[in-house]
Amino acid sequence: MNRTRSSVATGTGRARGIGVHGPPSSPRYAPGMSNLIDIVDAPLLRVWGDAVRARRIQGEQITLAIVELEPHAIVPEHRHEAEQLGMVITGEMHFTLDGETRVLGPGGTWRITANRPHGVAAGPAGAVVVDVFTPIRSDWDRLEVIEGETPRWPTAG
């Protein structure tokens, strides 16, 4: 499928900042912009060095992220205030939660309550996953935006 992407706000090019920085009251939210965008038009963020990057759509109380992990990427054990649900789209991950490590492939899911330690190691082909967080991941507001790189998913087809 050949898709032409255009911004509702500008008519052409990449739509930047559309609902990705917080609720309308936030100074970083772009008021008056569309709530309907293609995920590839969301800014690409550097989450864990060069090995993990993400694109996010953020509501007032929930964050949806497409996270891309390079082959053998390591996300060390960590915790955060947000509850997290997720699912592998492509590739595989060795996911550790509560001392149990499982290999999760496409369709594999996780459920993590707030402040629960967890860590991940991507498989040899890397992985693309969907993560959903509530409350929002406002800490991601400080992440570096990566310019000029093509997301791994979805692929043009």
Residue 7 lies in a domain: no
What is the domain extent for residue 63?
A: 42-146
pLDDT tens figures, 130-141? 999 999 999 999
Is 88 part of a structural domain of the chain? yes
Residue 36 lies in a domain: no
What pLDDT, in 10s, does the model give residues 66-90?
A: 999 999 999 999 999 999 999 999 9
Question: pLDDT at position 131, please?
Answer: 98
Quick: pLDDT tens for 20-67. Answer: 334 444 434 444 457 898 999 899 999 999 999 999 999 999 999 999
Does residue 71 form part of some domain? yes
Per-residue pLDDT band for 157 (boundaries 50, 70, 90) equals low
**Is the residue at 31 inside a domain?**
no
Phi, psi torsion values for 47, nearest 5 degrees: -95, -50
Q: Which two tokens stand for residue 70?
A: 């390079």
Q: Looking at the domain assignment, is residue 27 inside a domain?
A: no
**CATH assignment at residue 78:** 2.60.120.10
Residue 6 or 139, more confident = 139
Give the number of other CB atoms < 10 A from CB of residue 75: 19
Identify the pLDDT of residue 156.
66
48 occurs within a structural domain: yes
Contact 62, 122 (CB under 8 A): no
Strand ranges in 71-151 using DSSP code E only, listed in sequence order: 74-78, 83-97, 100-104, 109-112, 118-134, 145-146
pTM of the model: 0.78
Instruction: Render pLDDT for 99-128 as a digit per residue (tens, 0 to 9).
Output: 999 999 999 999 999 999 999 999 999 999
Q: CB-based contacts of 99: which residues, under 8 Å, 6+ apart?
A: none
Please state, in angstroms and rounded to a whole number, the distance separating the CA atoms of residues 148 and 123.
Answer: 26
Domain count for the chain, please give it: 1
Can you give the pLDDT at residue 95? 97
Distance (Å, whole) CA 122 – CA 149: 20
92 assigned to some structural domain: yes
